[in-house]
Amino acid sequence: AQSVAQPEDQVNVAEGNPLTVKCTYSVSGNPYLFWYVQYPNRGLQFLLKYITGDNLVKGSYGFEAEFNKSQTSFHLKKPSALVSDSALYFCAVRGNTDKLIFGTGTRLQVFP
């Protein structure tokens, strides 16, 4: 069975500092990994994905994520946080089906 864990309910970071939002996964076969962001009262917006190839993937709004197969992790990162990055972030995984399984989400709060 596929599953995703986001161990932190909330991450706080000062504007301008680097941020990391953690995600680990469990899946049979090759993992296909995604990050989405959700703003209040809105649907989810796609940020980036890992399918194959380079372990460091770059996405929208300056975000990037690093795939680590040995640690079964796919942490989201950004070198310099903005207040406008404050939102709810979801990691998701697909295995060998089209079904996308989401984690419980991490609330990112960036303070000025």
Partner 1 sequence: GAGVSQSPRYKVAKRGQDVALRCDPISGHVSLFWYQQALGQGPEFLTYFQNEAQLDKSGLPSDRFFAERPEGSVSTLKIQRTQQEDSAVYLCASSTLTGVVSPLHFGNGTRLTVT
Shorter beta-carbon distance to partner 1: residue 25 or 90: 90
- In the set 3, 45, 68, 84, which binds partner 1 (CB under 8 A)? 45
Residues 68, 87: Cα–Cα separation, whole Å: 25
Tell whether residue 42 is a contact of partner 1 (CB under 8 A): yes
- In the set 68, 84, 97, 109, which binds partner 1 (CB under 8 A)? 97
Residues 80, 15: Cα–Cα separation, whole Å: 7
Tell whether residue 99 is a contact of partner 1 (CB under 8 A): yes
Residues 23, 31: Cα–Cα separation, whole Å: 13
Tell whether residue 25 is a contact of partner 1 (CB under 8 A): no
Tell whether residue 49 is a contact of partner 1 (CB under 8 A): yes
Give per-residue burial for 42-75: e unless 16+ CB within 10 Å, then b.
eebeebbbbeeeeeebebeeebbbbbeeeebbbb
Residues numbered 55-84 forming contacts with partner 1, rule: CB under 8 A: none
Shorter beta-carbon distance to partner 1: residue 37 or 81: 37
Q: Which two tokens stand for residue 92?
A: 């998701």
**Helix (H, G, I), strand (E, B), or coil: what is residue 59?**
coil
Binding site for partner 1 (CB under 8 A): 32, 34, 36, 41-46, 49, 51, 90, 94-105
